[in-house]
């Protein structure tokens, strides 16, 4: 089993120890987006803000694509990304699951 999968399983068993380390398969850009989203100070984020922090304010769709490519929702919190209006939009596993994950934290 891949090292990143072991890290995810360890996270599920003891979430208080922190998020799994990088190593989840993805492009270099996806890795950058996912690392930015793991920042615990950002309880919710908007696509354009995330894109701006990553150096390209016009790359909102690229950030959204990186979120859509995330296959380990519990470890990479793409559910925190909301539309510019603040409404919930697009999520790989559906808006119901996104709503539930946000309810466990602070909702935007």
At 62-88, the pLDDT tens digits run 999 999 998 877 778 888 888 888 888
At residue 107 the predicted structure's pLDDT band, cuts being 50, 70 and 90, is very low
Number of CB atoms found within 10 A of residue 107's CB: 14
Alpha-carbon span 93 to 95, nearest angstrom: 7
Site of tokens 């701006």:
52
The stretch 18-42 carries a mean pLDDT of: 76
**Average pLDDT across the chain, whole number:** 78
pLDDT at 6: 67
At residue 43 the predicted structure's pLDDT band, cuts being 50, 70 and 90, is low
Domain range 27-104, CATH class: mainly alpha
**For the segment 48-61, what is each residue's pLDDT rounded down to a tens digit?**
888 998 999 999 99
Catalytic residues: 78
pLDDT at 29: 92
Q: Where are the domains of the chain?
A: 27-104
Could you tell me which residues are beta bridge partners of residue 51?
none
């Amino acid at each position: 089993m891949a090292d990143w999968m072991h890290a995810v399983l360890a996270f599920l068993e003891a979430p208080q120890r922190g998020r799994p380390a990088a190593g989840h398969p993805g492009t270099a850009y996806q890795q950058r987006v996912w690392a930015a989203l793991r920042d615990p100070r950002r309880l919710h984020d908007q696509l354009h803000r995330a894109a701006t922090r990553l150096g390209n304010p016009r790359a909102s769709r690229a950030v959204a694509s990186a979120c859509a490519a995330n296959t380990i929702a519990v470890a990479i919190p793409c559910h925190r990304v909301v539309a510019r209006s603040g409404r919930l939009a697009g999520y790989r596993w559906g808006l119901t699951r996104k709503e539930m994950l946000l309810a466990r934290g602070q909702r935007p």
